[in-house]
Chain A
Amino acid sequence: MATVTVKIPTQLRDATGGEGSLQIDGDTVGGALEALFTAHPELRSRLADDDGNLRRFVNVYLDGEDIRFGDGVGTPVADRQELQILPAVAGGR
Chain B
Amino acid sequence: MAATSLICRECASTYPLEAQFVCTKCFGPLEVAYAPHPSAGDRDAIRRRIQAGPRSIWRYADFLPLEAGSPVGAGDFSSDGGLPAGGTPLVKADRLARRLGLREVWVKNDAANPTHSFKDRVVAVAAARAKELGFSTLACASTGNLAGAVAAAGAALGLPTYVFIPADLEEQKILSTGVYGANIVTVRGNYDDVNRLCTEIAGEREDWAFVNVNMRPYYAEGSKTLAYEIAEQLGWTAPDRIVAPIASGSLFTKIGKGFQEWIDLDLIDGVGGAAPKVPVMSGAQALGCNPVAAAFEAGQDVCRPVKPDTIAKSLAIGNPADGPYAIELARKTGGTITDVTDDEIKDGIRLLAETTGIFTETAGGVTTATLRKLAESGRIDPQERVVLVITGEGLKTLDVVRGTFEVTEIDPRFEQFENDVESRTEVPV
B27 touches A92 (CB 8 A): no
Interface residues of A in 3-36 (CB under 8 A from B): 7, 9-12, 14
A55 touches B27 (CB 8 A): yes
Interface mask (B26-69 → A, CB under 8 Å = 1, otherwise 0): 11111100000000000000000000000000000000000000
Interface size on B, residues (CB 8 A): 46
Which chain B residue has the least Cβ–Cβ distance from A65? B193
A57 touches B196 (CB 8 A): no
| Chain B residue contacts of A66, Cβ below 8 A | 192, 305, 319
A57 touches B305 (CB 8 A): no
User: How distant is the Cα of A61 from the Cα of B25 in the complex, in angstroms?
Assistant: 20
Given A46-B27, A66-B305, A89-B213, are A56 and B253 neighbors across the interface (CB < 8 Å)?
A: no
Query: B22 in the interface, Cβ–Cβ < 8 Å?
Result: yes
Query: A68 in the interface, Cβ–Cβ < 8 Å?
Result: yes
B9 touches A89 (CB 8 A): no
B26 touches A46 (CB 8 A): yes
User: How distant is the Cα of A58 from the Cα of B25 in the complex, in angstroms?
Assistant: 12
A57 touches B321 (CB 8 A): yes
- Min CB distance B262 to A, Å, is 15
Query: B256 in the interface, Cβ–Cβ < 8 Å?
Result: yes
Query: B142 in the interface, Cβ–Cβ < 8 Å?
Result: no
| Chain A residue contacts of B25, Cβ below 8 A | 46
Interface mask (A61-93 → B, CB under 8 Å = 1, otherwise 0): 100101011000000000000001011111111
Majority DSSP secondary structure for residues of B touching A? mixed
Majority DSSP secondary structure for residues of A touching B? mixed
Interface size on A, residues (CB 8 A): 27
B254 touches A87 (CB 8 A): no
Given A66-B319, A91-B322, are A55 and B212 neighbors across the interface (CB < 8 Å)?
A: no
User: How distant is the Cα of A93 from the Cα of B192 in the complex, in angstroms?
Assistant: 21
Give the contact stretch, choosing among B228-236, B244-252, B421-429: B244-252
- Min CB distance A85 to B, Å, is 9
| Chain B residue contacts of A92, Cβ below 8 A | 29, 220, 248-250, 252-254, 321-322, 325-326
Which chain A residue has the least Cβ–Cβ distance from B24? A11
Give the contact stretch, choosing among B101-109, B143-151, B199-207, B350-358: B199-207
User: How distant is the Cα of A59 from the Cα of B27 in the complex, in angstroms?
Assistant: 10
Which chain B residue has the least Cβ–Cβ distance from A69? B305
| Most-contacted residue by chain B among A7, A9, A93 (CB, 10 A) | A93
Which chain A residue has the least Cβ–Cβ distance from B203? A10
Which chain A residue has the least Cβ–Cβ distance from B304? A68
Query: B81 in the interface, Cβ–Cβ < 8 Å?
Result: no
What are 7 A-B contacts defined by CB distance under 8 Å?
A: A46-B24, A56-B302, A57-B321, A64-B193, A87-B27, A91-B30, A92-B325
- Besides A9-B199, A87-B27, 4 other A-B contacts (C-beta < 8 A): A11-B203, A57-B22, A69-B305, A93-B256
